[in-house]
Amino acid sequence: MGWSNLNFDRRMFHFNFFKGNRYPYATHSSPNSEHDGLHIARAAQTLNSETLKTELTQAGNASLALESLSRMQGFDTSASHTAYVDALNSLKVLRIIKDKHKENRETFLKTSTKTSVETFSKNEGIYSIFENVKGRNMMYLTSTLHPNHCFHPSYASWGYVWDLRRDPEPLLNLTVNQLRDIFKKYSPKPLRVLKTNKAPVILDKQFALKQKPYSDLDLETIKRRAQMVRNNENFCKNIQIINREAAEEKEQTKTQEDLLPEETLYEKFIPNKDTALFKTWHSSSWEDKLRLLDKFQDKRCSWFGQKIIYQEAPQILPPDLYKNIKSEIARRILSKNKEKWQTVNMAYNEIDYLRDQADKRDNKIELNKLDEINDFIMSIEKKYEIA
């Protein structure tokens, strides 16, 4: 459990575990599960706006940013954005929610695994779901699609549900092109996404039924709409076709730039044989680590292993391999172009800017620290200039 962890921290874990030759998905693979305090707060605050004291954003919406919420509840925020204080304040905020939503606190946590969300998506049902749309916390009354066509054909973790404010009956027999054109005109969208790996909060239908526009509809009308969508396989199949074609079009327009190995985690799965080897590799001596590199089927794992050895025990690397690794690092960090990673040149520019700012404030301590950092960057540059 964290705060907005599924949008940031989890990806950071994934990529750092990946680069470290460790199983990237350890934090949320069975028997582990992972939830997001922000999702729980969003649902709780939508159900009862007095759950937490909030301040408004510049757009006039209730802010659920952790520092803001913590301050409004009277917690110490002087060291916010440090790991300990953010974890502690997250816990305190979640305790308030737990106390004020005793009847829902277990339900809030039911979707902390991908499997549990998939079960909701496949089973027949009408549910209340929650989203943040342009800074506003929204609740939707939704029903599931046909079980054979309820997931995105290209993005397997995206489940789809139907917003029951929309009458599906006039749409059921439309062609794919006609349906696509109609969907483009609808606002809000008739399809809502349940990202099965992002712990969306899913509650009983009673909550959304209390709010407009759903409260203007009788329950029989809502049930009839849900059954029409659920039972019309061809309609749901057409929705899948629209989603697949949109994904294919998006893929074609993507910039065809070469990805670094570190950026390819989500492009290709790591073979099970390699993930099984990670534990043995890490527990081996440096000499054995070098020998085991040939055992990896995935060349990315072998490359990451080479870099780890280069950083920790370079003396055991064969001269040619050592030179290749050093040359690749030099190619990246000495680049004069604007890169996606930090280069020596970018570091110097940032230091120069910070020096100007510190000089205007006559901050000698900060200037001395920047001189030390500059010397360190120079030492790195000198080391790799001869790669």
Query: Are 154 and 182 found together in one domain?
Result: yes
Q: At residue 270, does pLDDT exceed 80?
A: yes
- Enter the tokens of residue 252: 């074609």
| Domain stops at, among 224, 254, 284 | 254
Question: What's the confidence (pLDDT) of residue 255?
Answer: 66
Q: What is the pLDDT of residues 327-365, one digit of tens each?
A: 999 999 999 999 989 999 999 999 999 999 999 999 999
According to the 3-state scheme, what is the secondary structure of 145-202? CCCCCCECCCCCCEEEEEECCCCCHHHCCCCHHHHHHHHHHCCCCCEEEEECCCCCCE
Lowest mean pLDDT among 156-160, 251-255, 307-311, 354-358: 251-255
**Same domain, residue pair 175 and 318:** no
Instruction: Mark whether 324 and 294 lie in a shared domain.
Output: yes
Domain span at residue 218?
103-254
Same domain as 250, residue 117: yes
Both tokens of residue 281?
A: 């590799």
Residue 139 covered by a domain? yes
Confidence of residue 100 (pLDDT cuts 50, 70, 90): very high
Question: How many domains is the chain partitioned into structurally?
Answer: 2
Alpha helix stretches (DSSP H) within 186-271: 206-209, 219-231, 233-253
Strand order in the sheet with 191-195: 191-195, 158-163, 136-144, 126-133, 202-204
Which CATH number goes with the domain that contains 160?
3.30.1520.20
Residue 65 inside a domain? The answer is no
Mean pLDDT within 17-23: 95
Residue 39 maps to a domain: no
What CA–CA distances, in Å, run from 164 to 106, 218, 238, 307? 26, 12, 18, 53
**Confidence category of residue 7, pLDDT binned at 50, 70, 90:** confident
Structure tokens at 288: 């054995």
| Rg of the Cα atoms in the chain | 26
Domain boundary residue, one of 200, 220, 254: 254
Q: Record the tokens describing residue 380, joined without a space.
A: 């790195």
Length of the chain: 387
pLDDT of residue 256: 60
In a domain, 198, yes or no: yes
pLDDT, mean of residues 307-315: 97
Shared domain for 209 and 239, answered yes or no, is yes
**115, 213: one domain:** yes
3-state SS class at 336 = coil
| Residue pLDDT, tens place only, 109-132 | 999 999 999 998 898 899 999 999
Residue 7 placed within a domain: no
126 and 241, same domain (yes or no): yes
Same domain as 320, residue 219:
no
74 in any annotated domain? no
Mean pLDDT, the chain, whole residue set: 94
Q: Which residues contact 95 (CB under 8 A, 6 or more apart)?
A: none
- Those residues whose C-beta lies under 8 Å from the C-beta of residue 267, and which sit 6 or more positions away, are 259
CA separation, residue 204 to residues 35, 125, 143, 224 (Å): 19, 9, 11, 18
In a domain, 276, yes or no: yes
**In this structure, is residue 248 part of a structural domain?**
yes
Indicate whether 227 pLDDT > 70. yes
Q: Which of 193, 219, 254 is the last residue of a domain?
A: 254
Share of the chain above pLDDT 70, in %: 99
The mean pLDDT of 54-70, rounded to a whole number, is: 94
Q: Are residues 297 and 226 in the same domain?
A: no
Task: Encode 49-88: b = buried (16+ Cβ within 10 Å), e = exposed.
Answer: eebbebeeeeeeebbbebbbbbbbeebebeebeeeebbee
- Residue 260 DSSP label: P
Q: What is the largest CA-CA distance in the chain?
A: 76
pLDDT for the residue numbered 174: 95
Q: Would you call 36 helix, strand, or coil by DSSP?
A: strand
**147 and 245 assigned to the same domain:** yes
User: Does 300 lie in the same domain as 221?
Assistant: no
DSSP label at residue 255: -
Q: Which CA distances in Å does 209 have to 31, 47, 139, 316?
A: 35, 12, 10, 67
- Asked if residue 228 and residue 288 are part of one domain, the reply reads no
* 254, pLDDT greater than 90: no
**Residue 271 per-residue DSSP state:** P
